[in-house]
A and B are shown apart, each in its own frame.
Chain A
């Protein structure tokens, strides 16, 4: 799979990933190495959290990234946000390789891409006051003249729906929804262009979740933001995204515009996900689950990672990794069944 294969590889792409892999290796410590010399069968364990992923995101677009736990979606988000370095592949922002940037440009790019985190508790430093949480980076990077900083923070708080009178409080004095708003204000403070939202509403109650989702949509318009919206919740992704990527065990298995994907899923895994997501529709449903567990990413099945659970698995699926190939306008899917149908 190469970069030009992906959908939004047009010149308009704001963010482009090509061939991104992220491996985590648990190295053997001294004791384990000695044990190995003595004959113990210990090996370094490598997790392919993200395995050769390419994608492009256009300016102003909202891209949803869906997957179950351990599929690598959060790791991919962190590579995009610059928190993790990719083990292989390049991240290009506005046409320039992020890893090659230096000095002022490097800083500008780092600030342009911000992240909203899942846990409203642990994503805020419990020892800092709200004003400091929001204003620290602004002050350190001198984005706003010192005398204006207070007003700037107050404006941001108002913008995300917080009372600026609370700026002297500590995070533990806020509810989950409010804490998430503080996290959003912190990200907005450095005037980002691109937000990576990692399960940003998963920890919130339904009614609060709706408030925060609405806030995200307002902010998109007001600040002309581009989003990579990572979630396990298909409903949230469907509601918010223009385009959806489905990830399974480190690989993107399907990519399509939202309506097309939800209307006519191509990959068997996407089909299963859509069939099983609980929906608020009247009438008792009979759940017909796909069988089997999600395999461990330490030792994923060969070929297509999904084949042990796939009802249509063939011999070829067990040996050959399916490539992400176009299946329609703006649509890609990594499944051998498409070749069979064509052939």
Chain B
């Protein structure tokens, strides 16, 4: 297997605030290959978005990447000077936000904005640039792209705006797209349309994609692999099917149990008790310990990220389902 396009090892991004150090990301490791969608799943405050911003180099004070390694196509992102990082951003790594108006300027026409995004990185003639923008809009399934180019953002619906934002991200045919909750604000039918386009793009263009979301159901159908984040850490990574079928980490199990469609109608949902801990004041050891049904004394020690099954990594002293998988030695404390 070729080297992964992006490798993040033990990333730590902390925010040094008045009230204390917020360990927004506190030990996140994952990797993405070309032609692959990695879903990063976590609840609010789990640090999944900050992990995305850290890769993009968009963490502003009081936040700082304090530790860890991020390698993109052999380039050490942490050691990269600002100037080169800017060159990389938008051209080789692009980002799509939950709110497309984060990317779009409401007072400029779409073509102006797209051409600007193009000429920021490459020298290109006006006619060529326009043609390229039109192609990008067509690629994300916008009907009549030539006409829509001269429209203003407010003339688009929410779903269309998100398509335009994705088209802008695609302009330079980046190697990696980081998408932060891009379909959360959209309706089901519109979300499906966008998921459809994204799925096509990733597989036909051999791009890598980080799909950050709180909704396990969305990535279940889209991502090749999933990384589950909890309280700043990646607690489990592995191929989507295996994680959904047989979660190893009790938190993943709880998350899956919480999704209504999985339980029998009318029965109680298998909820996770309690609430996520404050990133200001994480519990010692495993952060999930206070909510975990399987917690023992040993969980007071922080579990290391280890390969629990082939291709499946996790941070847990008591991973589930391992006995059934025929590797009982790992399950024992």
Binding site for B on A (CB under 8 A): 68-69, 175-177, 205-211, 213-214, 217, 232-236, 238-240, 258-259, 272-273, 275-291, 293-294
B242 to chain A, nearest CB (A): 8
Q: Are A278 and B220 in contact (CB under 8 A)?
A: yes
Judged by a CB distance under 8 angstroms, whether B196 is at the interface is yes
Alpha-carbon separation in the docked complex, A42 to B189 (Å): 33
Alpha-carbon separation in the docked complex, A272 to B221 (Å): 16
Q: Are A283 and B188 in contact (CB under 8 A)?
A: no
Among B216, B217, B270, B276, residue most surrounded by chain A Cβ atoms (within 10 Å): B217
Given A210-B272, A287-B221, check contact A280 B188 (CB 8 Å): no
Q: Are A282 and B255 in contact (CB under 8 A)?
A: no
Given A205-B43, A206-B259, A293-B160, check contact A280 B268 (CB 8 Å): no
Q: Are A284 and B221 in contact (CB under 8 A)?
A: yes
CB-CB under 8 A from A258, the residues of chain B are 265
Judged by a CB distance under 8 angstroms, whether B240 is at the interface is yes
A184 to chain B, nearest CB (A): 16
Alpha-carbon separation in the docked complex, A286 to B256 (Å): 21
| A210 CB contact (under 8 Å) in B199, B214, B222, B258 | B258
Please count the residue pairs between chain A and chain B whose beta carbons lie under 8 angstroms apart in the complex: 143
Q: Are A276 and B275 in contact (CB under 8 A)?
A: no
B312 to chain A, nearest CB (A): 14
Q: Would you list which residues of chain B between 76 and 104 have a CB under 8 Å from chain A? A: none
Given A206-B43, A210-B258, check contact A276 B271 (CB 8 Å): no
| A–B pairs, 17, beta carbons within 8 Å | A69-B187, A205-B44, A206-B258, A208-B43, A211-B272, A217-B266, A235-B260, A236-B260, A239-B261, A239-B263, A273-B188, A275-B192, A276-B191, A279-B261, A287-B221, A294-B187, A294-B190
Q: Are B255 and A239 in contact (CB under 8 A)?
A: no
Judged by a CB distance under 8 angstroms, whether B262 is at the interface is yes
CB-CB under 8 A from B260, the residues of chain A are 210, 213, 233, 235-236, 238-240
Alpha-carbon separation in the docked complex, A76 to B163 (Å): 31
Binding site for A on B (CB under 8 A): 43-44, 157, 159-160, 187-193, 195-196, 199, 214-218, 220-222, 224, 240-241, 244-245, 254-263, 265-266, 268-273, 275-276
CB-CB under 8 A from B195, the residues of chain A are 278, 287, 289
Q: Which residue of B lies closest to A282 (CB)?
A: B241
Q: Which residue of A lies closest to B218 (CB)?
A: A278
CB-CB under 8 A from A282, the residues of chain B are 220, 240-241, 244-245
B222 to chain A, nearest CB (A): 8
CB-CB under 8 A from B261, the residues of chain A are 234-235, 238-239, 279-280
CB-CB under 8 A from B224, the residues of chain A are 284
CB-CB under 8 A from B244, the residues of chain A are 280-282
A147 to chain B, nearest CB (A): 34
Q: Are A214 and B269 in contact (CB under 8 A)?
A: yes
Given A205-B44, A206-B215, A206-B216, check contact A290 B258 (CB 8 Å): no
Q: Which residue of A lies closest to B213 (CB)?
A: A278
Given A239-B263, A278-B220, check contact A214 B189 (CB 8 Å): no
Q: Are B258 and A68 in contact (CB under 8 A)?
A: no
Q: Are B159 and A293 in contact (CB under 8 A)?
A: yes
Alpha-carbon separation in the docked complex, A288 to B221 (Å): 12
CB-CB under 8 A from A234, the residues of chain B are 188, 261
Alpha-carbon separation in the docked complex, A176 to B191 (Å): 25
Given A278-B220, A281-B220, A281-B244, check contact A239 B191 (CB 8 Å): no
For the complex of A and B, 7 pairs with smallest distance between CB atoms: A239-B260, A276-B192, A210-B258, A235-B261, A285-B221, A287-B196, A68-B187
A274 to chain B, nearest CB (A): 10
| A207 CB contact (under 8 Å) in B240, B254, B268 | B254
B278 to chain A, nearest CB (A): 10
Q: Are A277 and B188 in contact (CB under 8 A)?
A: yes
CB-CB under 8 A from A259, the residues of chain B are 265
Q: Are B196 and A288 in contact (CB under 8 A)?
A: yes
CB-CB under 8 A from A232, the residues of chain B are 187-188
Given A214-B271, A280-B261, check contact A207 B43 (CB 8 Å): yes
Q: Are A207 and B188 in contact (CB under 8 A)?
A: no
CB-CB under 8 A from A284, the residues of chain B are 221-222, 224, 240
B198 to chain A, nearest CB (A): 9
Q: Which residue of A lies closest to B260 (CB)?
A: A239
Alpha-carbon separation in the docked complex, A27 to B296 (Å): 66
Q: Which residue of A lies closest to B265 (CB)?
A: A239
Given A238-B261, A258-B265, check contact A280 B240 (CB 8 Å): no
CB-CB under 8 A from B190, the residues of chain A are 68, 293-294
CB-CB under 8 A from A289, the residues of chain B are 189, 192-193, 195-196
Alpha-carbon separation in the docked complex, A238 to B214 (Å): 20
Q: Which residue of A lies closest to B278 (CB)?
A: A175
Q: Which residue of B lies closest to A208 (CB)?
A: B275
Alpha-carbon separation in the docked complex, A285 to B198 (Å): 13
Q: Which residue of B lies closest to A258 (CB)?
A: B265
Q: Are B256 and A280 in contact (CB under 8 A)?
A: yes
Q: Are A290 and B221 in contact (CB under 8 A)?
A: no
Q: A205-B214, A278-B217 are known contacts; what are 15 more A-B pairs with Cβ within 8 Å?
A: A206-B255, A211-B271, A239-B260, A239-B261, A273-B188, A273-B189, A280-B220, A282-B245, A283-B241, A284-B224, A284-B240, A287-B221, A289-B193, A293-B160, A294-B189
Alpha-carbon separation in the docked complex, A281 to B217 (Å): 8
Alpha-carbon separation in the docked complex, A287 to B196 (Å): 5
CB-CB under 8 A from A206, the residues of chain B are 43, 214-216, 255, 258-259
Alpha-carbon separation in the docked complex, A209 to B214 (Å): 12
Alpha-carbon separation in the docked complex, A258 to B270 (Å): 21
A303 to chain B, nearest CB (A): 20
Alpha-carbon separation in the docked complex, A240 to B266 (Å): 6
Alpha-carbon separation in the docked complex, A222 to B269 (Å): 18
Given A206-B214, A235-B260, check contact A293 B157 (CB 8 Å): yes
Q: Are A213 and B240 in contact (CB under 8 A)?
A: no
Alpha-carbon separation in the docked complex, A294 to B190 (Å): 9
CB-CB under 8 A from A217, the residues of chain B are 266, 268
B99 to chain A, nearest CB (A): 15
Q: Which residue of B lies closest to A281 (CB)?
A: B220
Alpha-carbon separation in the docked complex, A280 to B261 (Å): 8
